[in-house]
Amino acid sequence: MAELKALTDATFGQAVAESPIPILVDFWAPWCGPCLKAAPILEELSEELAGKVAFAKINVDENNEAAVNWKIVNIPCLIVFKGGQEVTRIIGLKTKKDYLKQLETLS
């Protein structure tokens, strides 16, 4: 399984703005049980949707600036960006089918 690209406060803006395809960013923390359960699902989806959607993650404990800027109050929080702009937000642990359904609306 491919691990999601890890972003930091320093790399977040550029990664989101310059992604040629929609990019899903997983706002997570290592102590968050639902976040840890979502990780393998997102890794599977990143392989299945390679070339259509980019996947990344950002640890909100270590990168508080991005979390504050995007008003993250619950995790896991997945935000999909297109052209640097937020197009959808998925809060909480979902099934793979539910995540896929949301991502398919992007094309």
39-94 pLDDT tens trace: 999 999 999 999 999 999 999 999 999 999 999 999 999 999 999 999 999 999 99
> Could you say which of 4, 16, 23, 35 is catalytic?
35
Domain range for 51 is 5-104
pTM for the structure as a whole: 0.94
**Catalytic residue of the set 32, 60, 67, 77:** 32
Residue 35 annotated to the active site: yes
DSSP characters for 30-92? TT-HHHHHHHHHHHHHHHHTTTT-EEEEEETTT-HHHHHHTT--SSSEEEEEETTEEEEEEES
Q: How many domains does the chain have?
A: 1
32 is catalytic: yes
The CATH number covering residue 89 comes to 3.40.30.10
The pLDDT tens digits for 1-23 are 567 899 999 999 999 999 999 99
